[in-house]
Amino acid sequence: MFRTKEYLGALVLSAAMLAPVLTSGCAARATYYDSYYHDYHHWDNREDHAYRVWLSERHYEYRDFKKLNKDQQNDYWNWRHSHPDNH
């Protein structure tokens, strides 16, 4: 009986410690597939910055990338491939 409580306590403690690690940032991270170039792009701070530069160059107001239509998304990825990070 006591051994079961020990295991249960360890399991609950482990889950409580792992939950923030497993869930932190998951909502902010996304991976997008570029069908023209057949590659994946991970959306992070650098990608967000590049996206905002693209919006600014085109005088677009900010919209979440996933809300753009397919042609606009393709336009962004084409622009992005010709404007790589210099880091």
Kindly state the helix (H) or strand (E) to which residue 4 belongs, with its residue range.
helix 2-23
Name the 3-class secondary structure at 31: strand
List of residues 6+ apart from 33 with CB closer than 8 A: 39, 40, 41
pLDDT for 20: 56
Which residues of the chain are under the pLDDT cut of 70? Answer: 1-2, 5, 7-28, 86-87
Domain ranges for the chain: 2-81
pLDDT for 87: 46
pTM over 0.85: no
Taking alpha carbons only, the member of 44, 32, 37, 55 closest to residue 87 is 44
